[in-house]
Amino acid sequence: MARYKLVVIGASAGGLTAIEKLLAPLPKDFGLPIVIVQHISPDSENYMVTLLNNNLALRVKEADEKEVVKPGTVYIAPPNFHVFIEEDLSITLSVEERVNFSRPSIDVLFETAAISIGNQVVGIVLTGGNQDGAMGLKMIKDRGGLTIVQSAEEAQVAIMPSIAIKTSHPDYVLTLSQISDLLLRVAGDFNPM
């Protein structure tokens, strides 16, 4: 049985391009569900869904309330809602306060994933200009999940990766294409070193 059940990704400034690059190599039948928080303005339409759908082999959709996430599918947090991961891999959406000035917040996604499925989650922090995601990634690490941060040199905005690296001491600091490779291995039940 594969060790991991879910990939969670957080990105902010520069995130869309990075996410597209990261996920492009993943095949349609990629073995894990992927849930993404990309910081966006509260009123924006979720154009990301359309854009990624056109450019990726994976299916991309907005995360729905109480929906159970499935492999081969990418779920994008809706504007103005936090996303919680439940133990049965279903999603709960929340209207509560912003965290790190953000709703959706990466920390909230990561924290609930860590709390609910702990060592079965892969957490990834990408480019961005704030500190969201760092604490959440630490929680994933503390609970035995796999933690990855985009290398600050490669990131379009280095702040978020840098803070995440300092706060959580992730298992891997990698470029986007290296992260794609690692994801393919992890989903293929390969034990990362």
Q: Check binding of 112 to other proteins (CB under 8 A).
A: yes
Burial category of 95 from C-beta neighbours within 10 Å (exposed 0-12, middle 13-18, buried 19 and up): exposed
Q: Check binding of 1 to other proteins (CB under 8 A).
A: no
Task: Return the closest-CA partner of residue 39 out of 138, 153, 159.
Answer: 159
Site string for other proteins, 55-74 (x = CB under 8 A): ---------xxx--------
* CA angle 114–119–125, rounded 5-degree value: 60
CB 133 within 8 A of CB 64: no
User: Could you tell me which residues come within 8 angstroms of residue 14 by beta carbon, excluding any fewer than 6 positions away?
Assistant: 126, 127, 128, 155, 156, 157
Structure tokens at 108: 């909230």
Select 96 or 189, whichever has its Cβ closest to other proteins.
96
The span of 26-34, 45-53, 110-118, 178-186 binding other proteins (CB under 8 A) equals 110-118
Residue 132 catalytic? yes
Residue 12 catalytic? yes
Please select the residue that binds other proteins; options are 16, 49, 51, 115, rule is CB under 8 A. 115
Task: Just list the catalytic residues.
Answer: 12, 39, 132
Residues that bind other proteins (CB under 8 A): 64-66, 78, 81, 84-87, 92-97, 108, 111-112, 115-116, 118
